[in-house]
Structure formats: structure tokens, C-alpha cells
Chains A and B, each alone.
Chain A
Amino acid sequence: MPGAPLNAYQQTGTEPAVSRDYVLHNDPFEVRRAIMDITDDLGDARDLTLFELVLAEVLNNIVEHAYAAAQDGEIRIHIRDLGDRVTVQTTDQGRQMPGLCLPDGNLPDLDVGTDELPEGGFGWFIFHSSTLDVSYERRQDENRLQFSMDLAA
């Protein structure tokens, strides 16, 4: 339908949907600032603990892997706040996901000696265990990741 929004969202609950957009560069301090801005804007009426963590994992992945050594990468974040559910879309022009799909969310093996303990590999586990309606697509040199999370009051 002409003029219809790009994505047709199902509104849940009685809260009116609120959309907000954020733009940042591929810098860990900008990621930190964006996460704090986004959680501030969502307010403190809901438990955002997991949301904040998931958002960090997604943005860190873009900075560390999609943009890797890139000097000046842009990340755009679109937040749609539906009250009891928040939908997030991130867009970047970094490298595509290997195999054009998201990595699995398995926990690394923890049954090892101290020296062999993993220092990474938790991010996608955290992401997959906490999100709903996940989609990833590569479109015209852009990565587009979308997911939702239910937020309890």
C-alpha cells in the first residue's frame, strides 16, 4: 500500500507505540552512550536489565565484527516502544554475517580448567535466549537486524 510504513507492526496492549531513532559511530564509547540514552528514553517503569544487555551485545557485535577495523562506520537504531514489547532494528554498512545468517546461541563449554575458560562467545547466547521475532537480512550492502523483547513491569 503506498504510504504505508515499511514494517507493519502489531500493536500490543493499550499503550500507543512510540518510535525513536538513534545514530552512532562504531566506537565502544558511543555504543555505551547510545545504550544509556535509549534506556533513559524508555524510562524506568519497566525492567530493562536484559534489554540493556541484549542491546549491548548486538551493538558490540557490529563494532567488533561487522565494522572490525573500519575507521568510520555508522550504526542506526530504530526503537519501537509498544509498552509491554519493544522492537529494535539496527542497520549498518559493515561486513555481512558469515553465511548470511546469525551465529548460533550455544553457551561455550564451561566444564574446563581455569586456563581454558572462555573469555568470549556469550553474546549470541544472551541474544538468542532473550529475544523474539528475530530477523536478519543483507540488503544493498547493509546489514539489517530486527528483534523484539517483552518487557515486564
Chain B
Amino acid sequence: MQIKSLDVNGILVLAPQDHRLDAASAATFKDSIREACQDRQGLVVLDLSNVDFVDSSGLGALVASMKAVNQQGKLELAAPTEAVSRLLALTRMNSVFTVHETVQAATGDIRQAG
């Protein structure tokens, strides 16, 4: 899966470019995140603004990614779309993930906030 990678003030921001994180893409998503975060310490922000749809397979991939990143650093979610926010609330996984409304809120980058 194509994932855009950006360094914002030393924080790694990863933005999956696929619109669907589902049973068809969950495995490659997990691999791509692991690869992008290898031995990465500190905060990793997953920018979900392009992701219109996540099913329970995709949710499992998000959990697996958090487990992998949290070995060394910390994975947080940012900018979930309406559908993804609803899935996180429905499954109460919004209590497990740290979820920021925007990427700027996650990185604390006020220069981009305006």
C-alpha cells in the first residue's frame, strides 16, 4: 500500500493513500507501516484523512500497527473521516487509540494550523 511519509518537527507522519483499509488491503497496510516505522522511536502519527472506509479487518490492522510501533515509540491516529470515527466509536476502540481531530493537533505544529 502506498503510504506518504513526512517528518514534522521530528514526528513521523504517515498518510495511507488508499481509500479503503479492508480485508483486501489490511495485510499490505500492516507490512507498510512496520517497514516505515522500523526502529522508530518517539511519536508516529497516522494521518487517516484519505481513508474513507475501514472494516474490522482494517481495524485489526490498526491495532497490529499500534502494537508494532509501540515497541519503540507511540502510534496515534489523526484526522479520521466520519465513517472511521463512527467505527472507532461503535467498537469503543476510540478508548484504546489516541485520536486527534487533525494532523496539526497531533504534531502540535501551530505553523500549519492557521
Contacts and interface: CB of A to CB of B under 8 A. Distances in A.
Contact of A123 (B56, B61, B95, B96): B56
Interface string A54-73: 00110010011000000000
A117 B97 CA distance: 11
A45 to B, nearest CB: 17
Interface stretch (A24-32, A86-94, A131-139): A24-32
A31 B92 CA distance: 26
Interface stretch (A6-14, A76-84, A107-115): A107-115
A60 B6 CA distance: 33
Nearest to B87: A53
A103 to B, nearest CB: 13
B93 interface: yes
A60 B57 contact: yes
Interface residues of B, number: 26
B91 A49 contact: no
A126 interface: yes
B91 A32 contact: no
Interface in B48-64: 53, 55-57, 59-61, 63-64
Interface stretch (B8-16, B18-26, B105-113): B18-26
A63 B87 CA distance: 21
A107 B88 CA distance: 12
A57 B59 CA distance: 12
B4 interface: no
Interface of A: 28-29, 31-32, 49-50, 52-53, 56-57, 60, 63-64, 107, 110, 114-115, 117-120, 122-123, 125-126, 129
Given A57-B55, A110-B95, A119-B61, 6 more contacts: A32-B20, A52-B83, A117-B67, A122-B91, A123-B56, A126-B90
